[in-house]
Amino acid sequence: MHRVLVTGGSGFLGSHLCDRLIERGNDILCIDNFFTGSKINIKHLLKHPNFEVMRHDLTQPLYVEVNRIFNLACPASPVHYQHDPIQTTKTSVLGAINMLGLAKRLRARILQASTSEVYGDPEIHPQVEGYWGQVNPIGVRSCYDEGKRCAESLFFDYYRKWSLDIKVMRIFNTYGPRMHPNDGRVVSNFIVQALRGEPITIFGDGTQTRSFCYVDDMIDGMLRLMDAPVEFTGPVNFGNPIEFTMLELAETVIKIVGGKASLTFKALPQDDPKQRQPDISLAKQVLGWEPRVSLDEGLKETAAYFRQLLRV
């Protein structure tokens, strides 16, 4: 049994991770400032003897005793991370410094939840881990993109200087139950609009592509990476390599939700990438990981969650 710290543990990914860690018999300390996380996501765990939650802002030092750290804390949707971009950068950078310092003191293994956004608007397709990316360092998304890039840099500096036991995963678009209904991400946007009978908003002409990984698959990958041999640090891509255009996603959501939702088109946001698809060869080769939940299956589960949440 491990004593595990999960930062951002009441968020979308964090709460699912806490569930899986509890199932494994671990002792969990969930840290969150509840800016984007929700107590509803972890309500079912609050009375579990192996689960503890603490309100804490990761930009401040933390002194606890654990032997594994999952660093997931940071707003991950454009709506949320652009709300207070300075705080977003501080969470990524100061949060990484504080957690790396804690891991160094405890000699704990630490996993960084990085992002496909480190690739920016990519010039190569699909994206491989060796690609350095094309990021606008002064754009509206740079608080998140550059914050996560700096965090990766810090992780590898601690690895080189102190031989810290690190794992770095780059998470591509992930969806599923417990997403925030107003997070501005395309899957939640489309489902919520379709359930409410509103026009589905497509930015640009709808030909831009994304790949969508269901949350259960992503958590499986996260756990496999954390359990991997010490010499395998990453970074490693996790996501679904099957691409869909925004028009294809909208059509699939309408088919699953039902009704006759219409489409409305708006201008593409600044620095919005035109293509995003992971090369997951490394995850397959080293970890034996690849996503197994189809888009139709995952969207059905997600739509059912939002239908209950919104009572529509």
Q: What is the CATH number of the domain that holds 222?
A: 3.40.50.720
pLDDT at 1 (0 to 100): 80
Residues of the chain with pLDDT under 50: none
The three-state secondary structure class of 7 is strand
122 Cα distance to chain centroid: 19
Look at residue 110 and tell me if it is in a domain: yes
- The pLDDT, as a whole number, for residue 155 is 98
Residue-wise pLDDT for 233-280, tens only, equals 999 999 999 999 999 999 999 999 987 778 888 887 776 767 788 999
What is the Cα–Cα distance from 107 to 68, expressed in whole angstroms?
Answer: 9
What's the pLDDT at 312?
66
* Structural domain that includes position 109: 3-174+213-238
Positions annotated as catalytic residues are 144
Question: Which amino acid makes up residue 127?
Answer: Q
- Side-chain-side CA neighbours of 235 within 13 Å: the count stands at 28
Are 170 and 248 members of one domain?
no
Q: Output the pLDDT for position 271.
A: 63
Are residues 57 and 195 located together in one domain of the fold? no
Burial of 259 (0-12, 13-18, 19+ CB in 10 A): exposed
